[in-house]
Amino acid sequence: MPKIKLDIAGMYFSFEANVAAGACVKDVMDDVAVKTRAPDYKGPRFRYTTETIGTFLSLNGIRIDHENGSAVSRQDATRVYPDGIYRYDDDAVDFKNGLLVGTDPTKNYVLAWQFYVYDKNGVEHARTNGTKRSIISFAEKNPAKMGYVLEDGSTVVWRLVAIFYKPL
């Protein structure tokens, strides 16, 4: 069973999942959510929410409950952040003509959760073999659409990013 690392940038969370061959990013997240909410688990607890936009399953929010000093910087292990709930939801979005746009007319950008998949050597899958980055569901299981295959030693990194869709 492949071991895949899930890393949530800026929220001091990294955890190893065990998923079946042919798994997608959602499978990794489901495995981590179950393991970190088990009664005997003592580390940070991971949760996430989704939303469906048309037929597209999108990540809506991530929540990490840090306790017992579990919010530790990877760059400096002596830097420990306060215990508590670390949570952020992305902005409401829609797809128009194949483009991501926000539903708030007062903003010219959206905050969106975006994932990256790296192989065991740290090479980003979406940029290999001429594969062009595109918007895909994290529940997609077709490797031709995904642009990557999760294999033993892969890492999935989620980042909250600002995406501008019109000028100021």
What is the number of structural domains in the chain? 1
CB atoms within 10 A of CB 78: 6
Residue in the structure block whose two tokens are 């010219």: 108
Q: Are 83 and 66 in contact (CB under 8 A)?
A: yes
| DSSP per position, 124-157 | BGGGSTTPPP----TT---HHHHS----TT-EEE
Domain containing residue 49: CATH number:
2.170.130.30
Give the pLDDT score at 20: 93
Helix, strand, coil in percent for the chain, rounding step 5? 10, 40, 50
In percent, how much of the chain has pLDDT > 70? Answer: 94
**pLDDT for 57-103, tens place per residue?**
889 999 999 999 999 998 899 999 999 999 999 998 877 776 777 88
Domain residue limits at 110: 3-164
Give the pLDDT score at 27: 96
Structural element, H or E, at residue 17:
strand 13-18
Give the pLDDT score at 131: 53
